[in-house]
Amino acid sequence: MAKEDGLDVDIVFRKKQKKKTCRGSSPPQASSSGGESKGSGRIRQVNEEELEVEIVNREKPLIIDFFATWCGPCVMLQKELEQVAETLGDSVQILKIDCDENEGISSALQIQGLPTLIFVGMDADKPALRTEGLLPAQSIIDIIQNEM
């Protein structure tokens, strides 16, 4: 299996799907859209094929948000990511991927807790960083500025 900066680029589909859990300060809640947008501003929702292309062809650090519309902390993280996008502008690319619509990549990357953020830098020798649960905007900014 090919690796690109610590992320599996080739997708391996697993027959047995583990149940994802929501991590953060709020319990899971029903939501029709979860405030998610397929392409609003600097935050863009992608599918697994588009994600692979973005990882390989990136020209700036990536923040990849694995989320679900029913996950309360995922909805809250959207507001934090909007602050990150406003603060960092074009120096970072923020992508979102719905785990329920893209189960193959979620399984391949063993996404079990939501929200999960994966930070992919420009240095091919540095592995991607991964966090689970709700993070404040300043913590995300600190990771990008100090670790990427």
Residue 78 and residue 36 in contact, taking contact as beta carbons nearer than 8 Å: yes
* Residue 74 annotated as catalytic: yes
User: From CA 130, how far away is CA 31, in angstroms rounded?
Assistant: 26
Among 22, 68, 74, 85, which one carries the catalytic annotation? 74
HSE toward the beta carbon, residue 111, CA cutoff 13 A:
27
Q: At residue 80, what are phi and psi to the nearest 5 degrees? A: -65, -40
| The pair of three-digit structure tokens given for residue 87, joined into one six-digit string | 């603060």
* Residue 71 annotated as catalytic: yes
Among 43, 55, 63, 71, which one carries the catalytic annotation? 71
Active site residues: 71, 74
